[in-house]
C-alpha cells in the first residue's frame, strides 16, 4: 500500500460551542498527514493552473472581471429594486416566492412547504446556503429524509462531514478514503478504490431515491430579475434531476445572487467555470423559469445577515462572491491546511471575510490564517479585494477586543516598541546579537510555533540603520 492509501484521513477543526475555532490546531493535524496534505495541495494547484490556461485564451479577461465587478456593484446598490422585479416576474411565471430573514425562518418555510405536500423524501443538489442554514440537519429532525445528489456532497453526507470546498466538497479525501466510506455505508466491495466503480456505486444507490423522491431542491447560481428565472450550473446534471423528476421543486438562494438582465448572465457564465475548475463552461447550465408540467416551484430568498453586510462599507464587497472557489485553490494556507480546518461553512480567503460576519467571536482566529499575499484578490473573477478585507477584519477584531490574549500582549508590546525608534533600534541590535549566541533548543522549542516549520536566517552583522549612519549620514551624504 502507498503512503497515501495507508494514511488515515485527517479530520477537521474541533468545534466546542461558541469557543473560538482553533484553525491552527486542525491545520497542524492536516499538515502532519503529509501524504494527504501533498495530494490536496497538488489537486488545488492543478485547478489554479487550469484556470490560468483558460484565462490566457481570452484576451478580454481583465475587462470581463471589471465588468462582472461593476454589474455586481450596481446590483448591490439597487438590490431591493431588482429583488422586487424578480419576485414580480417569477410570480407571473407561476412560481411561489418566499422571503426569509434568517436561517431559522428559511428552514421553517421549507419544512412547511414539504409538510403541506406530505413530502417525506427530498433529493437535493449542492447548496452552500443550505449548509449555511444547516438545512439538512433541520429537515432530518423533522423526519424528512434528505439525499444529496452531488457526488462530492453525497460522500460528505455519508461520512458525516461538512463540505471542505465550495466547488469540490470532498477534495481533501483520497480514493481510498471514499472507498472506506462506501464500504461502511453503501455495502461497496472492500478495497476496490477504482474511481469508475466508486462513482457507479454511488449512482446505483442514489438513482432510485431520485426517481421516487417526493420533492427536489436546488440552490441557484444566479437569479435573473428581468425574467424571474433561476440559473443553476453543475457538472453532474444532478440539479436537473433534482428539479425535474419530483413534482415539487424548491429553490433556496441568497438575495445577493440576483443580476439585472439576461445579457449580464453571459459575463458570469464565461467567468464562473473557468475560474472554478479551469473548464470553459459547466457541463449543465440550466435555466429554471417555472414549474415543470403539472408540478410546483417555490423560490425562497434568504437574507441571513446579507443586509447587515450590505450596510457595511468595509465588508459589502464580499456580497459580490459567485462561489467559484478560485481564491481557495490559489491560497497557500488553504492548500496546505485543508478546508475543514477552518471549522466554518466557508473556508479559504472568502471564508476569512464571511465567517466573522456570522459569529465574530467564534471565527476570530480565521482572519489570521492568511499571509496577505494578495493572490486571492488577483484571481477573483468579480475583483473582491479579499486580502484588504482580511486585513480590515484584523483591525475590526482589535477594535472589538476580540484578539486572543497572546496576540493582545504581543501587539501592545510591539506597538510601544515601534512608537519609540531608539528603543526599537536597541532591541533589534540586541536581538540580533543574542540570537547568534543562543543555543538551538532555546529558539526552536514548543513555545515558538513560528519556528516549527522554519529556520531563522543568520543574524546580520549590523543593522541597516547603523550601516546607513556609517556610510552616508556621518559622511554628510544625503539620500535621494
- Closest approach, Cβ 221 to ligand SF4, in A, equals 11
Interface with ligand SF4 by CB under 6 A: which range of 292-300, 320-328, 400-408, 420-428?
A: 320-328
Asked if 321 interacts with ligand SF4 (CB under 6 A), we say yes
Q: Rounded CA gap, 277 and 281, in Å? A: 9
DSSP 3-state of 147 = strand
Asked if 113 interacts with ligand SF4 (CB under 6 A), we say no
DSSP assignments along 399-451, one per residue: HTT-S-HHHHHHHHHHHHHHT-HHHHHHHHHHHHHHHHHS-HHHHSSTT-GGG
Closer Cβ to ligand SF4, 117 or 314, answer by number: 314
Neighbour-count burial of 470, counting CB atoms closer than 10 A to its CB (0-12 exposed, 13-18 middle, 19+ buried)? exposed
Q: Rounded CA gap, 364 and 359, in Å? A: 8
Q: Are residues 339 and 163 in contact, defined by beta-carbon separation less than 8 angstroms?
A: yes
Of residues 103, 322, 345, 366, which one binds ligand SF4 by CB under 6 A? 322
- Closest approach, Cβ 272 to ligand SF4, in A, equals 9
Residues between 368 and 427 that touch ligand SF4 (CB under 6 A): 379-382, 384, 386
Cα atoms in the Cβ-side hemisphere of radius 13 Å centred on 263? 2
Q: Rounded CA gap, 146 and 215, in Å? A: 10
DSSP 3-state of 24 = helix
Closer Cβ to ligand SF4, 168 or 386, answer by number: 386
- Closest approach, Cβ 385 to ligand SF4, in A, equals 10
Asked if 324 interacts with ligand SF4 (CB under 6 A), we say yes
Q: How far is CA 352 from CA 12, 387, 390, in A?
A: 16, 9, 7
Closer Cβ to ligand SF4, 166 or 230, answer by number: 166
Interface with ligand SF4 by CB under 6 A: which range of 8-16, 238-246, 283-291, 316-324?
A: 316-324
Binding mask 327-366 toward ligand SF4 (x if CB under 6 A, else -) reads x----------------------x----------------
Asked if 219 interacts with ligand SF4 (CB under 6 A), we say no
Q: Which residues contact 358 (CB under 8 A, 6 or more apart)?
A: 132, 305, 344
Asked if 50 interacts with ligand SF4 (CB under 6 A), we say no
Asked if 64 interacts with ligand SF4 (CB under 6 A), we say no
Of residues 246, 325, 338, 351, which one binds ligand SF4 by CB under 6 A? 325
Residues that bind ligand SF4 (CB under 6 A): 321-327, 350, 379-382, 384, 386
Amino acid at each position: 500500500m502507498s503512503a497515501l492509501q495507508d494514511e488515515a484521513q485527517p479530520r477537521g477543526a474541533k468545534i466546542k460551542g461558541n469557543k473560538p475555532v482553533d484553525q491552527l490546531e486542525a491545520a497542524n493535524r492536516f499538515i502532519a498527514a503529509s501524504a494527504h496534505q501533498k495530494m490536496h495541495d497538488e489537486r488545488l494547484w492543478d485547478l489554479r493552473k487550469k484556470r490560468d490556461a483558460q484565462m490566457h485564451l481570452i484576451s478580454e479577461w481583465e475587462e470581463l472581471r471589471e465588468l462582472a465587478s461593476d454589474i455586481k456593484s450596481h446590483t448591490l446598490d439597487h438590490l431591493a429594486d431588482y429583488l422586487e422585479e424578480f419576485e414580480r416576474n417569477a410570480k407571473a411565471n407561476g412560481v411561489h416566492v418566499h422571503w426569509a430573514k434568517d436561517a431559522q425562518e428559511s428552514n421553517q418555510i421549507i419544512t412547511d412547504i414539504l409538510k403541506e405536500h406530505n413530502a417525506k423524501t427530498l433529493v437535493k443538489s449542492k447548496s452552500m446556503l443550505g449548509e449555511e442554514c444547516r438545512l439538512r440537519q433541520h429537515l432530518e429532525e423533522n423526519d424528512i429524509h434528505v439525499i444529496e445528489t452531488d457526488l462530492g456532497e453525497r460522500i460528505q453526507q455519508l461520512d458525516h462531514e461538512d463540505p471542505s470546498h465550495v466547488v469540490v466538497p470532498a477534495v481533501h479525501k483520497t480514493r481510498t478514503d471514499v472507498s472506506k466510506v462506501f464500504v461502511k455505508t453503501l455495502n461497496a466491495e472492500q478495497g476496490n478504490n477504482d474511481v469508475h466503480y466508486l462513482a457507479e456505486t454511488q449512482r446505483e444507490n442514489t438513482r432510485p431515491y431520485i426517481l421516487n423522491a417526493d420533492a427536489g431542491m436546488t440552490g441557484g447560481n444566479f437569479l435573473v430579475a428581468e425574467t424571474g428565472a433561476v440559473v443553476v450550473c453543475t457538472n453532474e446534471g444532478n440539479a436537473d434531476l433534482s428539479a425535474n423528476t419530483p413534482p415539487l421543486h424548491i429553490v433556496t438562494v441568497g438575495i445577493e445572487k440576483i443580476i439585472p438582465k439576461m445579457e449580464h448572465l453571459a459575463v458570469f457564465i464565461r467567468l464562473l467555470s473557468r475560474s472554478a475548475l479551469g473548464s470553459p463552461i459547466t457541463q449543465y447550465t440550466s435555466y429554471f423559469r417555472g414549474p415543470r408540467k403539472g408540478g410546483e416551484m417555490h423560490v425562497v430568498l434568504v437574507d441571513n445577515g446579507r443586509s447587515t453586510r450590505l450596510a457595511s462599507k468595509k465588508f459589502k464587497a464580499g456580497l459580490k462572491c459567485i462561489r467559484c472557489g478560485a481564491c481557495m485553490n490559489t491560497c497557500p494556507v488553504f492548500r496546505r491546511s485543508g478546508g475543514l480546518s477552518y471549522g466554518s461553512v466557508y473556508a479559504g480567503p472568502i471564508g476569512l471575510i464571511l465567517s466573522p460576519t456570522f459569529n465574530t467571536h467564534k471565527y476570530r482566529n480565521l482572519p489570521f490564517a492568511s499571509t496577505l499575499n494578495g493572490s486571492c484578490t488577483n484571481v477573483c473573477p468579480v475583483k473582491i479585494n479579499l486580502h484588504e478585507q482580511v486585513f480590515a477584519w484584523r483591525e475590526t477584531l482589535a477594535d472589538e477586543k476580540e484578539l486572543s490574549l497572546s496576540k493582545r500582549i504581543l501587539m501592545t508590546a510591539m506597538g510601544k516598541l515601534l512608537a519609540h525608534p531608539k528603543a526599537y533600534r536597541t532591541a533589534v541590535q540586541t536581538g540580533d546579537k543574542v540570537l547568534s549566541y543562543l543555543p538551538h533548543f532555546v529558539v526552536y522549542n514548543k513555545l515558538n510555533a513560528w519556528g516549527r516549520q522554519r529556520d531563522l536566517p543568520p543574524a546580520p552583522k549590523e543593522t541597516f540603520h547603523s550601516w546607513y549612519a556609517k556610510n552616508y549620514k556621518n559622511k554628510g551624504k544625503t539620500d535621494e
